[in-house]
Amino acid sequence: MRVGRVIRRAMGPFERSGTYAYRRLFVDLDAVARRMRWLAPAASVLEVGCGEGMYTEHIAFHYREATITAIDVSERAGRLFRGDRRRVEFRVETIAACVASRPRSFELAVLCDVLHHVHRDEQANFLEMVKNALAPGASVFVKEWERRTNLGYVAGWASDRLLTGDRVAFRSAAEWRALLEHVFGAGSVRTESRVGPWSNNVCLLVKT
């Protein structure tokens, strides 16, 4: 069992609040969602790699008129979500399965701290599948943790590696941008910005 799950079980009734407090040490998710809503309004949103629904809550709050489909390969998808489930659907499935059932369907795809959990050699293929889920003219919003020489990077890498057990594959901001433009085309990355509390939090908006 992964260390993160053991710790969460030990928290008991404080699991939700403890998990949110831990995540806030690394990123202000509400600031990410506000930035995303300002840059990429949409009526249909696909969140890829939603996990237990922490960021999904912020998406639902800021995209109050949108329908949101949140997918993850974990059976724990959306477990900690507290919000309006009339507009939010959690599905335990891969991006390939999502594309097969709903191709070219979404106005916005969101990947928040997901790509670095995908094997480096598979990241481009993963993004190609995300691309196939998008309607013409759609947007992709990627929030990632940047590899750079600071304490934040070391702390982020160590915690991700320890708690999830994944062989996380971080890149520099320039490398994330190059990867996205390799898949979505030259000039497709329209904006690059940062959110706190660490400058490692890079947000990239892609227009297809």
Q: What one-character DSSP code corresponds to residue 197?
A: B
Domain that residue 84 falls in:
26-207
Per-residue pLDDT at 19 exceeds 90: no
Cβ within 8 Å of residue 143, ≥6 positions away? 27, 32, 111, 112, 113, 195, 201, 202, 203, 204
Domain assignment present for 53: yes
Per-residue pLDDT at 12 exceeds 70: no
Domain assignment present for 5: no
Question: Given pLDDT bands bounded at 50, 70 and 90, which one contains residue 1?
Answer: very low
Question: How many folded domains does the chain comprise?
Answer: 1
Domain assignment present for 6: no
Angle between helices 15-24 and 54-62 (to 10 degrees): 80
- For the chain, the average pLDDT equals 92
pTM over 0.85: yes
Q: What is the CATH number of the domain that holds 120?
A: 3.40.50.150
Of 14-23, 101-110, 111-120, 134-143, give the lowest mean pLDDT range: 14-23
pLDDT tens for 92-123 read: 999 999 999 999 999 999 999 999 999 999 99
Phi, psi of 112 (to 5 degrees): -110, 105
Domain assignment present for 1: no
Domain assignment present for 195: yes
Domain assignment present for 36: yes
Q: Where are the alpha helices (DSSP H) in the chain?
A: 3-11, 15-24, 29-39, 54-62, 95-101, 123-132, 151-164, 173-184
pLDDT tens for 154-202 read: 888 888 877 777 889 899 999 999 999 999 999 999 999 999 999 999 9
In a 3-state reduction of DSSP, which class is residue 144? strand
Domain assignment present for 41: yes
Domain assignment present for 109: yes
